[in-house]
Structure 1
């Protein structure tokens, strides 16, 4: 009887413990080896998908930790990650302190873009550059479009001096060759590529991953030149409240705010970004606005749901509305929009996005990703209308499987469906009498094997197959190899092919300005490319400093390249496939130098040779023509120094060598831009309560281009036939652009983070 009583008592106690057991929490502080508190350090338990981020004092808190023994890791770019073991029981609070050693190699940061699976940068066979908001804060900008210009070899290129729309070039290749992802979803492309990065709140960004070179075997069309993947913050690890507001002496105002909250088993992050500029300025006296006026609001919401066995499930949505215009100083939208009396370019944009990730409730790691975006543009370029709508639905499922100890296997299928409609010949019927929206289904399958040959060598084999109604069967193989003969030396090599479907108007702003007539002289074929790059990383740790060299050589060969001929006729743009080939080749070097005192220097330099060779006559000789807006030399730098009592100073800059520009026949303006540097300085002060004040000066050297608009006094070309006043037959043209028209200006702002 006593044994039965004891057994019953033990059972009741055990059940009560299960019923009334409380989840515990882990708190602590993260500092550097010199004792400095580290802010924005990721501290988490990967097994549970739980974590937090340190505040200004280096403190962190991980809540709702179930009973058990867990490995807690603190990781931060520029520092060696560190792991501690915490035993949680009876709902108690466990305190852990981490002291991180500086390396500044960034090699232990987890990345996903190169292989579509989580992997450390050091182990990735594909070179991936990681940029965090911490870098962007050293030169605050109102949009990610401008921020990515701080990356060596990446150039945000403005294509119009009136409406200031643009695209992003990687290694000298135009915007259509750059795929822009948000959380791995290809929802910023084609029509939206001009505006896709403008409305992403900086407060929502955890990091940006950049892959330069071929990636079509995983991501398909448009990934011929490279990928920019914007990784948004996990609501679980985001600050409770964050805000960032700044303004400039030109009258720009940018406000960024986000809040985190819990709702049952879900955690949500809600963010708003607002940018306003309503101060027409004409410093160069051509009666045109030097900077486009803008009124933009973006709303972002992301949800993470807690599931059994910590399976992934997240949903996110974004809505962007923008009203922008540029033109003559006396232009008024209520009187002159769409008219031919006063010239203006007015663009109304509405955009909605929805993305999601769901891990299937099965033993294997099978994930489904889905997205949908809707984009509407209502625009007038002078008296030329451009009305366009685009819808893109995307569904992708992939199986992430580890075979044995040496093979990491990825098998997936995807389907993208695009509907595009506008008022141009791009969606007209063959006879030009009716409108016929373009509907483009693009199914594909892909497979990848990441083979760890031995601890020092890794080989990645990838293949993708797509089928396009117009272009047929498309094959995209990829090969990547990584060798690490020692912990301080890493060599990576990759080769792949790419393709790009034909889509002119949605990607080339020059076709929309109204300044030129579009001529499609033949049926266009899809582009193909063959790409390769070689990457070498050498790290040099010493007692006094840490130095890292990251060098990359790249080469791309294009066939059937679709070119926009702006040289043959000043009034027209001729589109055709290149009768010859095009080449993009060069080398880039990045250096990171961190001292054991608070000085850090990041610097990069790139050499690019981007050109095309075309058969322009009957003799078979190929003529070499240099790519527009592709400087042979370019570079950037960031110099940061920490001062006592929370002060710091940052010097940033980006420089470009001469680049070829679109000029008119007998143009008096030089065909190549001058060497120029855009330099900035910032002073900031941080307090322990999460408050930060900052201010500085942009474009210290006050560099602005000369004569950016041809014949600004005759934007409707009413007097171009006057042989006396216009003997060269110049026409209105706003495409002569190589730098912003904004001169020197001061800025000031305030940030706040509450954890």
Structure 2
């Protein structure tokens, strides 16, 4: 599923809104190109595929892309990151319709806040082959492309999940209006989710948080002559609570991670084509994310006054500390971009400017909303970049993409020059080679994970930058070949791709330390260097009408040049390793599906996550865990009633319930000790109506 080598030729059977769009991609060059002609390797996940195996949100959808690891990083609140090329989520850029509007705070839980039903397709470029994306897009770009209606109508959808026996409800509705000539359209959507908490080991502490999510948005386009205006407004309101005593105030729980997040985003884009050989796009966007949070709790103190080991003094002491662990965060983000494309006989020259400004104010408050300590100073982060890229068809068989960007980041003293190059060579009508080399960097600013606070024994663990922290530099490369013998079958293709990344001054987190005031923290400092190498193999085969199989498998090896300290208890027990934490060396996905369009559909998917080494801060170990084979299956029925198409679907995700079994229990657990598949066995049923 989602193999990059052949787009899904049957997208229209799953959704009338998906007509022909998968045959074209935009992410590599930000110009619409046929997928098999694009100089940059682009992998595509379409709406029909997301629906066929029961993906609920953006995070679920990404689990079926070869070589992608969707990882939960917290046992209490389930913050999730998407890893490409064996590198953490901080090394890739998530864009929405090409725009990087997911701020530091929004990125903590954002990948689970985008319902799959609102996505038209997802395009992924692995590696840094394109200069049009930020310098931090080292491992790649994940471009979420929202629905664009092609006719009047809409859809109403209701879904029920049973997650290890706990109920979850999701409802959504979309309404579309398209002008007679297609020169303008308007689309609105609303969605709501209610999910109960899940306790997988019976210790009265959650492994999956209780969640409530509301989403709403409006999108519209108007075209007048050579100008096209597109506007987008969206709103997200989410509450999640993990730990224990979920119905009590957070500070009365032994462990609580409570997040109330509200995000309002808006963008306006102007596309112009004053001539056949020149076009441009100017975009301005704003996103405001606010969060009320609580990380901590009473810890292992006994709270029952009738218990024989209840200690009133210990409880009062723990309560006074617990009341001080609330937080309030404000995070506005402004983004502006302009891209100009000049067409020539055999080339397209693109150039432009990108600007980004973000402010983060993170206040520590008590249970009454009173500030604790001195007022926190707002941190601001800005980056301005100039880029140029030449998409040159040197020969009928050879295309060269050469570009560079200069970034001026306010966290660095000097501008950073990042050249990038990609090439495509069609050896014959069946065989295509692609290669890319890109450079990039990470500035010493805060990251998504800094605004999610791990807990150890109900004590928050914050991340701080070491004095003199330098920027991290990176070079990535990949080389691949696609063999597509069309004469043998309607859909049959094979791909092999090798990739690598070289990192210098790698950001590395220390072991958990205790400050002079007794609080816990981890320090981010520079290690020497690290490298990742890997091989990806894909096969796509449509062996009967309506039936298709996709297989993708990746082997990867990620190592620091020298061992880094992962654990040190100051009592002689030290854990060092060159390995990356929670990074498997093998990943694979296999999907088999049948789409009839107006009758029965079915799909079966297998996801393999290989063994990985996982740090346990409680035990002071870094040991091998896993692997896991997840089996998903679904069957659906399409029923036409007048002008309405009814859709019924029933399925299961993680049929064999293959997952982590050694969760830590009780208030003293290390919330970061979580790995492997994010969801236990989940049965689901869905009913929808398109009109």
Q: TM-score range by the shorter chain?
A: 0.7 to 0.9
SS of 1:443's partner is strand
Structure 2: stretches of 5+ with no match in the other structure:
1-9, 297-321, 366-372, 566-575
Q: Which of 337, 344, 351 is residue 263 of structure 2 equivalent to?
A: 351
**Distance of aligned partners of 1:488 and 1:139 in 2 relative to their CA distance in 1, 3 Å threshold:** same
Cα deviations across residues 293-350 of structure 1 (Å, max 9, x unaligned)?
A: 10001112100102113x321101110000100111x332xx33134x5321110000
Q: Which has the larger radius of gyration?
A: 1
Q: How does 1:591-610 map to 2 (within 5 A)?
A: 591-610=539-558
**Distance of aligned partners of 1:568 and 1:389 in 2 relative to their CA distance in 1, 3 Å threshold:** closer
**Distance of aligned partners of 1:741 and 1:144 in 2 relative to their CA distance in 1, 3 Å threshold:** closer
* Mapped partners of 1:517, 1:129: distance in 2: 36
* 1:682 alignment counterpart: 634
Q: Does 1:276 align with 2:194?
A: yes
* 8 Å Cα contact 2:556-2:586 kept in structure 1: yes
Query: Which deviates more from structure 2 when the two are superposed, residues 654-663 or residues 497-506?
Result: 497-506
**Distance of aligned partners of 1:376 and 1:215 in 2 relative to their CA distance in 1, 3 Å threshold:** farther
**Distance of aligned partners of 1:75 and 1:41 in 2 relative to their CA distance in 1, 3 Å threshold:** farther
* 8 Å Cα contact 1:290-1:742 kept in structure 2: no
Q: Which of 372, 386, 389 is residue 327 of structure 2 equivalent to?
A: 386
Cα deviations across residues 523-553 of structure 1 (Å, max 9, x unaligned)?
A: 2112110111112111123455632112221
* Mapped partners of 2:130, 2:358: distance in 1: 18
Q: Which of 120, 132, 143 is residue 229 of structure 1 equivalent to?
A: 143
* 8 Å Cα contact 1:515-1:733 kept in structure 2: no
Cα deviations across residues 484-528 of structure 1 (Å, max 9, x unaligned)?
A: 011211101111101112233533466454443545442211211
* 1:735 alignment counterpart: 672
* Mapped partners of 1:440, 1:155: distance in 2: 28
**Distance of aligned partners of 1:422 and 1:458 in 2 relative to their CA distance in 1, 3 Å threshold:** same
Q: Does 1:298 align with 2:239?
A: no
Q: Does 1:39 align with 2:26?
A: no
Q: How does 1:89-168 map to 2 (within 5 A)?
A: 109-168=23-82
* 1:551 alignment counterpart: 496
* Mapped partners of 2:558, 2:12: distance in 1: 42
Q: How does 1:25-36 map to 2 (within 5 A)?
A: none
**Distance of aligned partners of 1:37 and 1:120 in 2 relative to their CA distance in 1, 3 Å threshold:** closer
* Mapped partners of 1:76, 1:442: distance in 2: 33
Q: How does 1:563-578 map to 2 (within 5 A)?
A: 563-566=508-511, 572-578=520-526
**Distance of aligned partners of 1:304 and 1:666 in 2 relative to their CA distance in 1, 3 Å threshold:** closer
Q: Does 1:698 align with 2:643?
A: no
Cα deviations across residues 251-296 of structure 1 (Å, max 9, x unaligned)?
A: 1111121001258974210011211113x33231122123111000
- The Cα of 1:736 is off from its aligned counterpart by 1.3
Q: How does 1:320-469 map to 2 (within 5 A)?
A: 320-328=236-244, 330-332=245-247, 335-339=248-252, 341-360=253-272, 362-363=274-275, 364-382=278-296, 383=322, 384-403=325-344, 405-423=345-363, 434-469=375-410
Q: Does 1:252 align with 2:168?
A: yes
- The Cα of 1:579 is off from its aligned counterpart by 3.0
Q: How does 1:61-80 map to 2 (within 5 A)?
A: 75=20, 77=22
**Distance of aligned partners of 1:616 and 1:679 in 2 relative to their CA distance in 1, 3 Å threshold:** closer
- The Cα of 1:577 is off from its aligned counterpart by 3.2
Structure 1: stretches of 5+ with no match in the other structure:
1-35, 43-52, 55-73, 78-108, 426-431, 618-622, 716-731
* 8 Å Cα contact 1:708-1:735 kept in structure 2: no
SS of 2:63's partner is helix
* Mapped partners of 1:516, 1:220: distance in 2: 29
* Mapped partners of 2:547, 2:690: distance in 1: 25
* 1:214 alignment counterpart: 128
- The Cα of 1:473 is off from its aligned counterpart by 0.6
Aligned residues: 622
- The Cα of 1:450 is off from its aligned counterpart by 0.8
Q: Which of 624, 633, 644 is residue 672 of structure 1 equivalent to?
A: 624
- The Cα of 1:573 is off from its aligned counterpart by 4.4
* 8 Å Cα contact 1:529-1:559 kept in structure 2: yes
Q: Which of 398, 422, 428 is residue 480 of structure 1 equivalent to?
A: 422
**Distance of aligned partners of 1:137 and 1:645 in 2 relative to their CA distance in 1, 3 Å threshold:** closer
* 1:60 alignment counterpart: none
* 8 Å Cα contact 1:239-1:753 kept in structure 2: no
Query: Which deviates more from structure 2 when the two are superposed, residues 384-393 or residues 442-451?
Result: 384-393
SS of 2:86's partner is coil
- The Cα of 1:124 is off from its aligned counterpart by 1.1
TM-score (norm 1): 0.78
Q: Which of 298, 314, 319 is residue 235 of structure 2 equivalent to?
A: 319
Query: Which deviates more from structure 2 when the two are superposed, residues 353-362 or residues 548-557?
Result: 353-362
TM-score (norm 2): 0.84
* 2:581 alignment counterpart: 628
**Distance of aligned partners of 1:370 and 1:643 in 2 relative to their CA distance in 1, 3 Å threshold:** closer
Q: Which of 530, 537, 549 is residue 475 of structure 2 equivalent to?
A: 530
* Mapped partners of 2:466, 2:597: distance in 1: 65
Q: Which of 422, 428, 432 is residue 490 of structure 1 equivalent to?
A: 432
* 8 Å Cα contact 1:505-1:512 kept in structure 2: no
SS of 2:55's partner is coil
Query: Which deviates more from structure 2 when the two are superposed, residues 206-215 or residues 569-578?
Result: 569-578
- The Cα of 1:642 is off from its aligned counterpart by 5.0
**Distance of aligned partners of 1:749 and 1:447 in 2 relative to their CA distance in 1, 3 Å threshold:** same
**Distance of aligned partners of 1:575 and 1:239 in 2 relative to their CA distance in 1, 3 Å threshold:** farther
* Mapped partners of 1:263, 1:488: distance in 2: 41
* 2:310 alignment counterpart: none
* 8 Å Cα contact 2:198-2:209 kept in structure 1: no
* Mapped partners of 2:57, 2:11: distance in 1: 29
**Distance of aligned partners of 1:634 and 1:160 in 2 relative to their CA distance in 1, 3 Å threshold:** same
Cα deviations across residues 454-506 of structure 1 (Å, max 9, x unaligned)?
A: 10001111010111222121111111111001121110111110111223353
**Distance of aligned partners of 1:205 and 1:411 in 2 relative to their CA distance in 1, 3 Å threshold:** same
